[in-house]
Chains A and B, each alone.
Chain A
């Protein structure tokens, strides 16, 4: 069934069950997203994709709200912009966004200041370098949940990681903070693949950033080159 409704004053059509975000993208209307990913269950938790729907008390997450007949949607109203800008400023006050160019671009787009919250507590964390495949730098984690989701029912059914703490103190973690090799992790790398901020990073990339040369990294690994050299 085809549905017709108004988005930013323009008449748009959607298929039954289509999300507002999907409809917006089809119509060239830009709605920013952070936690949303095609491969994971949408949890509507970053709230950056919220839009104003006439008749609704609160802003609605466009990643999960479905188009409805005669809906009137504003994707960039004053209320929407205030929420997006404030969320971005709060993120910048909390974590290291240096490896998240998409979010930095979003901040420019919404005129969000990185210094909006002076004296704010940040979520600092040491880099966890405990396995040969990837590093975990939770100073850069914005809790999009994607890694936990792909490790569990969205992809791998491995359940190596979950959450620690609660509220602002939440962090992704393992059973009693065990190192990755001590968990059920199978090094599939899917979590690294869906991380939007560089909190999870391939070990090799991390070492290059630390100033190691490819040759040094190769020597450190007893790889094919070494085997060949021995011949």
Chain B
């Protein structure tokens, strides 16, 4: 190991020192930028400057996939091997790339020039197969990896509606083009209660996956007593198959920021955080720039300001309380609820945390009023909705429709199953979602219709598998994903995701053991019923749905009822 020059550290992390523990993730990112990885003396210095116990610093580095406490290559290529990319031969691509450089996945070349890793979903599913090369997105990679697009990914936006996506598809929209924050302006002429009542009347339901009514959250935080209230934008989009927030953030950052400003005004928050996943580094400059534009225009800075926080590779941090822990500079362990974020959120203070797409609806609701907003969608699922369509469809992309479109209509918009093949299955809602088949195509994609059919809407994932696909491969990847992403706090998920993965590997290899069907069910139900947070509670959702649809895949005769 060459000598480590610690004098370079302080200038890099200086601005995070006053933040104390909460500055730990940004400081580790900054330190890693300087040294390429986080050697022991560097980690120790970071701990001393920020006054964080060294064992805790190490615990944090160990938790996040994108922090390294062993040397890695100057260049890091992360090849996505999740659902949509797997359908475009991502495994072959990874193998080919590795053998070309004489290493195995997860390894670094001897000269420390390159590390190649397999990655969970990178949120670029409509342009599969993809990789993250340092801070750039490499998309539509050809099988010989000679042809690809590199940099800030394109946005592919379709659908009959152009409301949330009005400014999407042509690069980042500047404030000049976005225009005044007219929604915020109107909101400021209303009382806090009036805004909350309007949002409640609009029937807006959170778009992140948990489907909680947005107005109720705002009401709770508005009423809560606290010295400091926070608004947090959850941009840790990591659900396999989901890429809507990536498009919204990159192409129309001011819509999100305006949504955060309206929320802050309505609940009386003075500080906001936008927590974006570490796999979207190429969006951060556009976001920083948009925040600066908003400050110069006077929307931010005086009564309310927003700080960007960048994650470091942990799906669990999309869980709201794990996200708070991460901002606080800790391992992303979800907290027990209650108490809920509206009263005890970030730093223990009243907090509203909303998904990117949810926040993008707020300017519209204020401008159009609840009744105007309800022109779109159904009675119980009002508004426009974004769907992330990928996999075996003719035209993968982001589709904006009114709630109420059926799965068939959506697939027709996307040109149907690619290459004139028949449909095998649709993964709805991502890895934490469930599989649907031809029989479900006429179900409306609304919260109420899907719930009645026992299917989740999740984060709006519609991932298509054609008739030639082996669903055991998709399942094995889901198993791997959750075992990789479980935080390890509660026993059902910590061990259950591992056991689920092992059984699904046997299923994929056709080496099912006697009793595996019931074993897998017991693990699945135990995770669903007894896990501490939403990750564990949904880690078996897609698997259990597949067991009902295709029991024969699990070595079970079709006649056995499940």
User: What chain A residues lie within 8 Å of B56 (beta carbons)?
Assistant: 159, 162
A159 touches B58 (CB 8 A): no
The closest CB in chain B to the CB of A159 belongs to: B53
A168 touches B526 (CB 8 A): no
The closest CB in chain A to the CB of B523 belongs to: A86
Known: A50-B530, A87-B526, A90-B499. A161 touches B55 (CB 8 A): yes
A44 touches B336 (CB 8 A): yes
A162 touches B486 (CB 8 A): no
Q: Interface 1/0s, chain B 187-226, versus A by CB < 8 A?
A: 0000000000000000000000000000000000000000
Check B62 for interface membership: any CB of A closer than 8 A.
yes
Contact of A46 among B62, B491, B499 (CB under 8 A): B491
Alpha-carbon gap, A107 to B561, bound state (A): 29
User: What chain B residues lie within 8 Å of A43 (beta carbons)?
Assistant: 336, 489
Alpha-carbon gap, A61 to B492, bound state (A): 12
B495 touches A93 (CB 8 A): yes
Q: Interface 1/0s, chain B 486-497, versus A by CB < 8 A?
A: 111111101111
A183 touches B491 (CB 8 A): no
B502 touches A120 (CB 8 A): yes
Alpha-carbon gap, A73 to B519, bound state (A): 27
User: What chain A residues lie within 8 Å of B62 (beta carbons)?
Assistant: 163-166, 173
A167 touches B487 (CB 8 A): yes
Q: Which of A1-9, A25-33, A111-119, A196-204 contacts its partner?
A: A111-119
Check A79 for interface membership: any CB of B closer than 8 A.
yes
Alpha-carbon gap, A79 to B63, bound state (A): 32
B513 touches A165 (CB 8 A): no
Alpha-carbon gap, A168 to B525, bound state (A): 18
Q: How many residues of B contact A (CB 8 A)?
A: 46
Known: A159-B53, A161-B55. A170 touches B530 (CB 8 A): no
Check A140 for interface membership: any CB of B closer than 8 A.
no
Contact of A91 among B54, B489, B491, B531 (CB under 8 A): B491
Alpha-carbon gap, A50 to B499, bound state (A): 21
A166 touches B529 (CB 8 A): no
Check B522 for interface membership: any CB of A closer than 8 A.
yes
Point out which of B483, B525, B532 has the most chain A C-beta atoms below 10 A from its C-beta: B532
Known: A166-B63, A168-B488, A174-B58. A64 touches B502 (CB 8 A): no
Main secondary structure on B side of the interface with A: helix
Known: A165-B62, A168-B497. A90 touches B483 (CB 8 A): no
Check A21 for interface membership: any CB of B closer than 8 A.
no
Known: A116-B519, A117-B519, A165-B62. A86 touches B526 (CB 8 A): yes
Alpha-carbon gap, A116 to B514, bound state (A): 11
Alpha-carbon gap, A48 to B532, bound state (A): 12
Alpha-carbon gap, A152 to B484, bound state (A): 27
Contact of B490 among A46, A64, A165, A168 (CB under 8 A): A46
Q: Enumerate 23 A-B pairs (CB-CB under 8 Å) in ascending A order.
A: A43-B489, A45-B532, A46-B490, A47-B490, A50-B529, A82-B526, A82-B529, A83-B492, A90-B491, A91-B495, A94-B495, A118-B513, A143-B491, A162-B53, A163-B331, A164-B58, A166-B314, A167-B486, A167-B497, A168-B495, A170-B494, A174-B58, A184-B55
Q: What is the distance, in angstroms, from A35's C-beta to the closest C-beta of chain B?
A: 8
B40 touches A58 (CB 8 A): no
B487 touches A48 (CB 8 A): no
Point out which of B489, B526, B531 has the most chain A C-beta atoms below 10 A from its C-beta: B526
Check B43 for interface membership: any CB of A closer than 8 A.
yes
The closest CB in chain A to the CB of B524 belongs to: A86
A87 touches B491 (CB 8 A): yes
Contact of A58 among B494, B495, B499, B530 (CB under 8 A): B530
Known: A91-B495, A93-B495, A93-B499. A173 touches B532 (CB 8 A): no
User: What chain B residues lie within 8 Å of A142 (beta carbons)?
Assistant: 491
Alpha-carbon gap, A152 to B59, bound state (A): 13
Check B485 for interface membership: any CB of A closer than 8 A.
yes
User: What chain B residues lie within 8 Å of A161 (beta carbons)?
Assistant: 55
Known: A161-B55, A163-B331, A165-B62. A87 touches B530 (CB 8 A): yes
A120 touches B485 (CB 8 A): no
Q: What is the distance, in angstroms, from B13's C-beta to the closest C-beta of chain A?
A: 18
A163 touches B59 (CB 8 A): yes
Check B476 for interface membership: any CB of A closer than 8 A.
no
User: What chain B residues lie within 8 Å of A162 (beta carbons)?
Assistant: 53, 55-56, 58-59
Contact of A83 among B497, B513, B530 (CB under 8 A): B530
A165 touches B336 (CB 8 A): no
Q: Interface 1/0s, chain A 56-69, versus B by CB < 8 A?
A: 00110100100000
Alpha-carbon gap, A90 to B55, bound state (A): 28
Check B28 for interface membership: any CB of A closer than 8 A.
no
Alpha-carbon gap, A103 to B43, bound state (A): 38
User: What chain A residues lie within 8 Å of B498 (beta carbons)?
Assistant: 94, 120-121, 167-168
A83 touches B53 (CB 8 A): no
Q: What is the distance, in angstroms, from A164's C-beta to the closest C-beta of chain B?
A: 5
Known: A44-B532, A64-B336, A163-B63. A168 touches B494 (CB 8 A): yes
Q: What is the distance, in angstroms, from B430's C-beta to the closest C-beta of chain A?
A: 18
Check B174 for interface membership: any CB of A closer than 8 A.
no
What are the 7 A-B residue pairs with the smallest beta carbon separation, nearest first? A159-B53, A162-B59, A170-B488, A167-B486, A168-B498, A162-B55, A175-B54
